[in-house]
Structure 1
Amino acid sequence: MEQYATALLYAIPFFIILLILEIGYGHFVKDQKHKLLDSVSSISSGLTNVIKDSLGLGLIIFSYPYLRDTLALTEINATWAVWLVAFIAIDFAGYWNHRLSHHINVFWNQHVIHHSSEEFNLACALRQPISNLVGYFALLLLPAALLGVPAKVIAILAPIHLFAQFWYHTQHIGKLGWFEYLFVTPSQHRVHHAINPEYIDKNLGQILSVWDRWFGTFQEELEEVPPQYGVLKPAATWNPFLINFQHFWRLAVDAWRTRNAWDKIRIWFMPTGWRPADVKEKHPYTVISDVYNYEKYHTEATPWFKGYILLQMLVTLALLMFMFYNFSAISYQGLLLYGGFLFLAIFGYSSLMDRQRYAFYVEVARAAAGFIFIYLSGDWFGMNSYFAEAGLVLQFYFIITLGATVYFTFFEKETVSSNLAV
């Protein structure tokens, strides 16, 4: 976990720089692909994911080291070959994991967050899950385990493989010639994120595009079919916590409502979108039928509101970076408290983005938790050793954000509604 936190200390600034460059380029060419609330939601989703993963929250069925030590038939020496074999094994496993996530109801729940943005940009690449609480990916690495690929090699390559999938989430790069035949490109991944009937469940590769070509899931981006992004049952919220468990909740409700005992079980493992016949008839879902003519999710936001939300996200990001920087000095119990506080912060400001009144109560809980912790410990997880007045500054920040949340929840919202009525 500590190694992962250290890797993120370097990866996160790199991602932010690329995001800023994409936003700047879009502004320069007058073709902006970012909307502030959507991008904040995307980035915040990424923050929840790295908090969860760095804290090791979840249950792993089988670890790769266990599979390798138990099942290895041979051993590849630590040469260039082992790195190549490991990379191919990870990418092959990634393809099939991705395919499972698109085609099986219960697995779609852990992937829907990644597709939930109705925009397509580098920020949406950061929409990663917290609902993947049961880890099974090592089982898909069985070929690597049988070949005796060292666990250390997998541990090094896995995050690199993940981070390398960031760059192709953009609309500003066209087709790349011969590169398209070997590797996943922005053009191919635009197809993957599209909800057009021609594009659904296509281009599931992560780095190598050969798997899609071999297994029949490849689809070229067509000039006459511009990709439309999102999911057919729109998330209709900026809150990453809600998006993460929407599909699971729908499955649970359908399983409860159906009178067929077999349907209560099989709904979880049926193709994505399958519902029991009796429930489907009584409780139909609204899905997008015309991908070129539907209203994207939005909430009213004044420039001041957008600025405040951006500030909240940036402060949360700064606090997260401090947690990663000070990771080894904080006890695991302390890290859980810290992570819980950051979760609460993200839930609060993303609920405010949805213009939910309960955002105020979440902010009260967050501010109270912050005040109590600083009062009892006299510090903020060791921050005073770097900046003597850190605790005081944070308390002032809590007061400011609490006041701002009151204003944006109870006053500006009413003003915006009145203006809309006029």
Structure 2
Amino acid sequence: METYGKILTIAMPAFLALVLLEKAYGWFVKKDEFKAMDMISSLTSGYTNSVKDVLGLSISILSYEWMVIHWTVYKVESTVWVYIIAFVSLDLTGYLVHRMAHSINFFWNKHAIHHSSEEFNLACALRQSISSFVSLFTIFLLPAALLGVEPKVIAIVAPLHLFAQFWYHTVYIGKMGILEKIIVTPSHHRVHHAINPEYLDKNHGQIFIIWDKLFGTFQEELPNVPPVYGITRPANTWNPIKINFQHLWLLIKDAFYAQSWKDKFRIWFMPTGWRPADVAVHFPDKKIENPYNFEKYAPKSSQNLLIWIWFQFLFTFILLFHLFGNIAKIGMPNIFIYGGFIYLLVFSYTELMDRNRFAILWEIIKNILGFALIYSMGDWFGSSQLYTWATSAMMIYFVLSTIITAYFVWFEIRKDKPVVEMKY
């Protein structure tokens, strides 16, 4: 927990710098539109996922350590081979879990967030799940366990394997020659994120493309079929917490309304997107039928609102840096309270990004909670030990944040929906 937090205090600024560098390249060199709200939504999703991972908010039904203790057949001693086996085992596991997420209704919920951006860039790589609390697929690491690869080796290699999947989320790198036959490249992954019928549910590999070619899920990027990105049931929100549970909520509603008990049960395990016939008739959902003709989600926003959202985004970054860098000092259970506050902060300002008038309600709840935390602790999670002015700054922020959000809701967002005149 503490070690991973320290790693993220280094990785987060690096990822942010690379995302902004790619955006700058697209803006100045390629003359592409700078879609700030989409990028902020993606990066904010990364915030929520990093909090979940650092705080260890998940459990494993079958732990890898238990598998090593009970199932090791032959213990590999060579240091180099241990790490190679760990990396390849993690990659095969990643392929299998990834493919299942695209194939089974229930498991799609944890992965939909990653595909929810209608752009394809380094920022969307950080759209990661917070909706999975139970790990069911540790069993796929069986090859490493049989060869006695220590859990600490897996713990070291796993973040490296994850971070190595970041770079290929870009449209600015073309095909890469011989590497196209070995590793996952940007071209391969553009196919994976596309909703074109030719590309749907292809290229599940994470580092090695060999698995897709071996198991029949490979599709080359076609020169005459430009990828169109997103999900066939558009998220239509910038709020990453909502996106994380949209598909699950659809499944719950469909299971409730289905007349057949068989359908109520099997909906969870059917292919992704399957719905009971009677429910689909009475409650049709909005799906993209033609990927070349749909309107991307892009609520209007003023320059002032965009500046405020950037401030909220960067302010959240500072709070995360404080949390991840001081986990041991903040201690239990305060680290979980801190994490919950960050989730509430994210929910509040992404609701404002969506131009939701209830954003002011979430903002008030967040800021009242902030004052209550300062009152109960005497300062902001020990920050006064680092900076004497930190707690006062937080209190000023709570007041100003409420006022500024109220301004945007009253003077901008309230005008979005016309007032209906009552006729008598």
TM-score (norm 1): 0.97
Aligned positions of 1:104-253 closer than 5 A: 104-253=104-253
**Aligned match of 1:73:** 73
**Aligned match of 1:269:** 269
The one-character-per-residue Cα deviations of 1:100-151 (angstroms, maximum 9, x if unpaired) are: 0000000000000000000111110000010011112311111111111111
Aligned positions of 1:11-410 closer than 5 A: 11-32=11-32, 34-410=34-410
* Residues in 1 aligned to 2:33 and 2:216: alpha-carbon distance in whole angstroms: 31
The Cα shift of 1:377 comes to 2.1
* Residues in 1 aligned to 2:415 and 2:360: alpha-carbon distance in whole angstroms: 17
The Cα shift of 1:30 comes to 3.5
* Residues in 2 aligned to 1:148 and 1:9: alpha-carbon distance in whole angstroms: 32
> Is the 8 Å Cα contact of residues 34 and 121 (structure 1) preserved in structure 2?
no
> Is the 8 Å Cα contact of residues 356 and 413 (structure 2) preserved in structure 1?
no
Structure 2 unmatched runs, 5+: 419-424
The one-character-per-residue Cα deviations of 1:392-412 (angstroms, maximum 9, x if unpaired) are: 011111111111100111112
Q: Which runs of 4+ in 1 moved over 3 A?
A: 414-418
* Residues in 2 aligned to 1:143 and 1:30: alpha-carbon distance in whole angstroms: 45
Name the aligned partner's letter for residue 6 of structure 2.
T
* Residues in 2 aligned to 1:2 and 1:65: alpha-carbon distance in whole angstroms: 20
Distance 1:132 1:34, change over 3 A: farther
Name the aligned partner's letter for residue 298 of structure 1.
A
**Aligned match of 2:422:** none
* Residues in 1 aligned to 2:153 and 2:336: alpha-carbon distance in whole angstroms: 29
* Residues in 2 aligned to 1:285 and 1:415: alpha-carbon distance in whole angstroms: 28
Name the aligned partner's letter for residue 270 of structure 2.
M
Name the aligned partner's letter for residue 84 of structure 2.
L
SS at match of 2:267: helix
Name the count of aligned residue pairs.
418
The Cα shift of 1:188 comes to 0.6
* Residues in 1 aligned to 2:375 and 2:328: alpha-carbon distance in whole angstroms: 23
The Cα shift of 1:416 comes to 6.2
Distance 1:189 1:34, change over 3 A: farther
* Residues in 1 aligned to 2:97 and 2:376: alpha-carbon distance in whole angstroms: 45
The Cα shift of 1:34 comes to 4.3
> Is the 8 Å Cα contact of residues 300 and 416 (structure 1) preserved in structure 2?
no
Moved more, 119-128 or 62-71: 62-71
The one-character-per-residue Cα deviations of 1:153-178 (angstroms, maximum 9, x if unpaired) are: 10000011001100100111111111
The one-character-per-residue Cα deviations of 1:7-61 (angstroms, maximum 9, x if unpaired) are: 1111111101111210111122133364111111111111111111111112321
SS at match of 2:168: coil
* Residues in 2 aligned to 1:356 and 1:332: alpha-carbon distance in whole angstroms: 34
Name the aligned partner's letter for residue 272 of structure 1.
T
TM-score (norm 2): 0.96
SS at match of 1:75: coil
* Residues in 1 aligned to 2:84 and 2:58: alpha-carbon distance in whole angstroms: 29
The Cα shift of 1:85 comes to 0.8
* Residues in 1 aligned to 2:140 and 2:34: alpha-carbon distance in whole angstroms: 35
> Is the 8 Å Cα contact of residues 63 and 138 (structure 1) preserved in structure 2?
yes
SS at match of 1:168: coil
Distance 1:287 1:415, change over 3 A: closer
* Residues in 2 aligned to 1:34 and 1:94: alpha-carbon distance in whole angstroms: 32
Structure 1 unmatched runs, 5+: none
The Cα shift of 1:93 comes to 0.5
* Residues in 2 aligned to 1:78 and 1:367: alpha-carbon distance in whole angstroms: 54
SS at match of 1:57: coil
> Is the 8 Å Cα contact of residues 357 and 413 (structure 2) preserved in structure 1?
no
SS at match of 2:412: helix
Distance 1:416 1:277, change over 3 A: closer
> Is the 8 Å Cα contact of residues 202 and 217 (structure 2) preserved in structure 1?
yes
The one-character-per-residue Cα deviations of 1:338-372 (angstroms, maximum 9, x if unpaired) are: 00110000000011111111111111111111112
> Is the 8 Å Cα contact of residues 357 and 414 (structure 2) preserved in structure 1?
no
* Residues in 2 aligned to 1:355 and 1:367: alpha-carbon distance in whole angstroms: 19
SS at match of 2:32: coil
